[in-house]
Structure formats: structure tokens, C-alpha cells
Amino acid sequence: MKGRKQKLKKGIFISLEGIEGTGKSTQARLLSEYLRKKGYDTVLTEEPGGTTISREIRRVLLSTKHDKMDYMAELLLYDAARIQHIKEKIAPALNKGEIVITDRFSDSTVAYQGYGRGISLKLIDSLDRIATGRMRPDLTILLDLDVEIGLMRNKKINKRDRLELEDIKFHKKVREGYLKLAAMEPGRIKLIKAPKGINEIHR
């Protein structure tokens, strides 16, 4: 099948999740390249982002200038970006039988705004029902790493945004949230230890 495009009857939705510095973007790109070489049509995207509107929301969410942002405003902005992302990019690609690979999706909101910020998980779930219609990835790859290592990795590459500036306690709550999600949905969420090398994680 080399060199020939392979169409699926139904698209496959894959998300990569994890705390800061786990290498999600790199692994999402490598996975997309691997599947393309196998002949599959893939769409590589990210959250918040993927569309013009969602990227504008991302700029607001991650800007270090917005350190006074209310947690509920933050939550609603993430959901707004996700609605646009699904409508413009994710759903059309899946309907065409393509493989969508996204760097973050709804699990990030549960981990960061739920476990990290302390916003009601029931409220987050209710808003998610509106934003996604209960859309879930077919497979979620959770890259797990000690918080200190992840933040140090990003510091070395000068990655700096509003969430990066949160204290260690916040990021540890986020990691704990991810691990709880993985324990609740082992069929969908596959845990991979991220201290390994890039190529080893990819394999």
C-alpha cells in the first residue's frame, strides 16, 4: 500500500495529553508523519487552536499579560475554542475518513480547570456536553512525567506562557487529575512514561 492513500470508512480521533514539558507536540507530529508514510490521510492539530478563531482565543488564554483572568472566564474560553475547532476542523476530517491527531482535547480541561483550578467537575462536564456533544477521542495517549522535569524542559527552550507561570502545587494537581482520568478510562487512555527518549516514546 506504499504510496497509495488509504481511506477509512470512519475517521479515527487521537489525542495526546499530559502536563507541561512532556513532548506532546513532538509526539503528535511524529505519529502523524508515521501514519502518512503508511498511506493514511492525517490531520495534525492542537488545542486551543486549529482554526482562526480558536487561535485568537489561544493567544488570549496563554498571554502572560492576562494574569487577572477569572477561572470561569478561562474555562468558557477553552470551551468556545473547542466548539469552533470541532465544527471547522475535527468533525469534517473525521467525516471524510481521516485520522485526526490533536495536541490536547477535553481531558486537558478536566485536568487543568477541574483538578488544577478546583472548578466543579460536574459543571465542566455539563459545559463539555454543550461544547462537544460528548465527542471523545477513540484513543488518548497520556504522556506522564514528574512536574519538576517537565517545567525544567520548557524553561530550557524558553517556553513561557500564563499557565507555565503557575506554581508547582498547581501543576502537581493537574498531573494527579490526569492520572485519575487514566484510572477511570483505561480502555481509552493509554499511559506512557515520558522521561524516555523521543524515539523510544514514539516507538
DSSP 96-131: TTPEEEEE--HHHHIIIIIIIT---HHHHHHHHHHH
What is the C-alpha to C-alpha distance for residues 191 and 193, in angstroms, rounded to an integer? 7
Q: Does residue 3 belong to any structural domain of this protein? A: no
Q: Does residue 4 belong to any structural domain of this protein? A: no
| Grid cell of 177 as nine digits | 487529575
Write the CATH number for 128: 3.40.50.300
Q: Does residue 50 belong to any structural domain of this protein? A: yes
List, for residues 84-135, the tens digit of each pLDDT value: 999 999 999 999 999 999 999 999 999 999 999 999 999 999 999 999 999 9
Residue 149's pLDDT band (cuts 50, 70, 90): confident
List, for residues 68-79, the tens digit of each pLDDT value: 999 999 999 999
Q: Does residue 6 belong to any structural domain of this protein? A: no
The pLDDT of residue 1 is 40
For residue 3, pLDDT over 60 is answered with no
Residue 54's pLDDT band (cuts 50, 70, 90): very high
Q: What percent of the chain has pLDDT over 70?
A: 93
Q: 2 vs 157, which has greater pLDDT?
A: 157
Q: Based on the structure, what is the number of domains in the chain? A: 1
Where in the sequence is the domain holding 77, given as residue range(s)? 12-202
For residue 154, pLDDT over 70 is answered with no
Q: Does residue 186 belong to any structural domain of this protein? A: yes
What is the C-alpha to C-alpha distance for residues 109 and 173, in angstroms, rounded to an integer? 13
What is the C-alpha to C-alpha distance for residues 97 and 85, in angstroms, rounded to an integer? 17
Q: Does residue 2 belong to any structural domain of this protein? A: no
The pLDDT of residue 12 is 98
For residue 53, pLDDT over 70 is answered with yes
Query: Which whole-number Å values give the CA distances from 25 to 77, 80, 122, in the listed order?
Result: 21, 22, 29
Burial 79-103 (b: 16+ CB within 10 A, else e): bebbbbbbeebbbebbeeebbbbbb
Q: Does residue 57 belong to any structural domain of this protein? A: yes
The mean per-residue pLDDT over the stretch 133-154 comes to 90
| Grid cell of 86 as nine digits | 470541532
Please tell me the pTM assigned to this model.
0.91
